[in-house]
Structure 1
Amino acid sequence: MDKKTYYDTTVKMESVGVDPAYVLGWQTGFMHSPKLEEQRVTEAYEAGYNDGREGKTDGFSSWTKQ
């Protein structure tokens, strides 16, 4: 895990107003941690988790709150 990538991506997502569920999912996936319990998983969390697992740092634009 690259701490700088984790930090920089988190700060960038938070500064542009990305859905917090996506951010949490991305952080969890990037750290290769287990997912939340099934009943707590949302579409945004799932998308973030998958992007984080893949190491994507630019897949959050569609989850930016207007």
Structure 2
Amino acid sequence: MNKTYYDTISAMEKKGVDKEYINGWACGFLHNPKREEQRLNDAYNAGYDDGHAGKTDGYSSWSKK
């Protein structure tokens, strides 16, 4: 698979980024459809938008550490 994908996920996990953001980012990066409306939240939507745009540095505000 794509090195950027794995490197970004790994960096986010090490920095304690919200799991909803990471999940959204992964789905967006892979151009998967968004999940069902009732399961969407701000972190997921932000991650999805960043991932879909190919942004690999937009996660700092979602870090819990």
TM-score, normalised via structure 1 length? 0.95
Sequence identity, in percent? Answer: 60
Q: For residue 33 of structure 1, what is the aligned residue in structure 2?
A: 32
Q: For residue 16 of structure 1, what is the aligned residue in structure 2?
A: 15
Q: Aligned-residue CA RMSD in angstroms?
A: 0.9
Stretches of structure 1 that go unaligned for 5 or more consecutive residues are none
Stretches of structure 2 that go unaligned for 5 or more consecutive residues are none
TM-score, normalised via structure 2 length? 0.97
Structure 1 stretches of at least 4 aligned residues deviating more than 3 Å after TM superposition:
none
Give the paired residue count.
65
Q: For residue 46 of structure 1, what is the aligned residue in structure 2?
A: 45
* Cα drift, residue 23 of structure 1: 0.1
